[in-house]
Amino acid sequence: MIDRYDWAGGQEAMLRFGPSNGPVVVAALPLFEEANRTRTFAVTLLRLLAERGMAGALPDMPGQGESLMALETLSFLRIQEAFGGVVDHILDEGRAAYALGIRSGALLDAHALASGRWHLAPQDGSDLLRELKRVHGSPWPASAARVEIAGNLISADLLVELEGKQPFAESVTPRRVVRLESDPRPADHQVPGAPLWRRSDPDNDPALAALLADDIAAWVRACEG
Partner 1 sequence: MQPDGSLQVEDTVRAVLRDVLGLSADRVAEFRADTPLFGALPELDSLAVAGVLTELEDRLGILIEDDEVDGEMLESFGALTRFAAAKALG
- Give me the residues that bind partner 1 (CB under 8 A), please: 130-131, 133-135, 137, 150, 182-185, 194-195, 198-201, 203
Give the list of residues 6+ apart from residue 172 with CB closer than 8 angstroms, or none.
none
Write the single-letter amino acid at 174.
P
Shortest distance (Å) from residue 48 CB to partner 1: 22
Shortest distance (Å) from residue 61 CB to partner 1: 22
Shortest distance (Å) from residue 131 CB to partner 1: 5
Closer residue to partner 1 (CB): 7 or 197: 197
State the pairing for strand pair 97-102/24-28: parallel
Residue 7 buriedness (CB in 10 A; 0-12 / 13-18 / 19+): buried
Closer residue to partner 1 (CB): 37 or 146: 37
Closer residue to partner 1 (CB): 25 or 178: 178
Closer residue to partner 1 (CB): 145 or 185: 185
Shortest distance (Å) from residue 40 CB to partner 1: 14
Closer residue to partner 1 (CB): 11 or 182: 182
Shortest distance (Å) from residue 208 CB to partner 1: 12
